[in-house]
Amino acid sequence: MKQRRRFGFSAEQKLDVWRRWKAGQTLHEIGRAFGKEHSSIRCLVSRHGGIAPAVRRRALLALTQREREEISRGLASGSSIREIAKRLERAVSTVSREVARHGGRPAYRASQADGEAWQSALRPKRCLLSINLKLRNIVASKLILDWSPRQISGWLKTQYPDDESMRVSHETIYRSLFIQARGALKKELLDHLRSKRRIRRSQHSRIFKDGRGQIPEAISIRERPAEVEDRAIPGHWEGDQHCRCSMHVTVIEITAPRDRAHIGFWLKVIAVKAVVACSVATG
């Protein structure tokens, strides 16, 4: 059986894939747009943990391809390094290092030199959690306890208020989990995230529209039995509780059709007990 030849994605196609992914399209929808299986899209997306990589840009002070072509033409015509640098308005040492780095005067080629320079410019910065072993162990131990990354980040600020090296943002923790190429946190820790997702989904995804903020198997208040309407027992009352730490008193508002005076009496008793307890505790 003859196998079909597989073609990768071009740079423009990759940008379009990430644009569609950030817009909330599913893997199947993106795959149909490119005429590919959803597994091919997933392979591209999961490699970066569902987080679109930053668009690479050439440094402002780096030599451009046009300047390298000018260097190549100057070398072919026999011009000196100083003359070429003067025409480009560049330092002589910059042109000299460029020529020496890419084969010297006889072997220098502009297109090849530009491609090699673009690849050598890839210097990925090491992740904070891969450098700080103590911080990484603490984060991993809290994730095992089912703490969220935001909880861990906030706890570190209060636990180590004077140690800046023991700070990490929740976004860094998420990226270290989703992007396994960082080599900071183990893949098994993903199971302790509340969402249980292996890759990051866009905020525009239908996952958040359908399930986020919903209580599973929730029972609507409209389904309460009819006998609740007469509020014959305390459990059928409607109440709100407001805590005011500055007053050291818990204020309770209860709506009931009758016996308001009786309820108010017990609320006063509760408030007095709370004030006495707070006075003893702080005195």
Domain map (residue ranges) of the chain: 11-46, 65-120, 128-211, 237-282
Q: What is the pLDDT of residue 76?
A: 92
Extract the tokens encoding 219.
Answer: 């029972």
User: Could you tell me whether strands 249-255 and 238-244 are parallel, antiparallel, or unpaired per DSSP bridges?
Assistant: antiparallel
What distance lies between CA 67 and its chain's CA centroid? 38
> What is the model's pLDDT at position 262?
46
Q: What does the buried/exposed string (b/e) look like for 187-222 if buried means 16 or more CB atoms within 10 Å of the residue's CB?
A: eebbebbeeeebbbbbeebeeeeeeeeeeeeeeeee
The pLDDT, as a whole number, for residue 88 is 92
pLDDT in tens, 93-109: 999 999 999 989 889 99
Residue ranges in the chain whose pLDDT is less than 70:
1-7, 123-124, 180-183, 202-216, 234-283
Interior angle at CA 147, CA 144 and CA 152, nearest 5: 110
- The structure tokens 């109440």 sit at 239
At 142-189, the pLDDT tens digits run 988 889 889 999 999 999 988 888 988 888 888 888 776 666 787 788
Specify whether the CB–CB gap between 75 and 84 falls below 8 A: yes
Q: How confident is the model at residue 68, as a pLDDT?
A: 94
Give the pLDDT confidence score for residue 268 in this predicted structure: 53
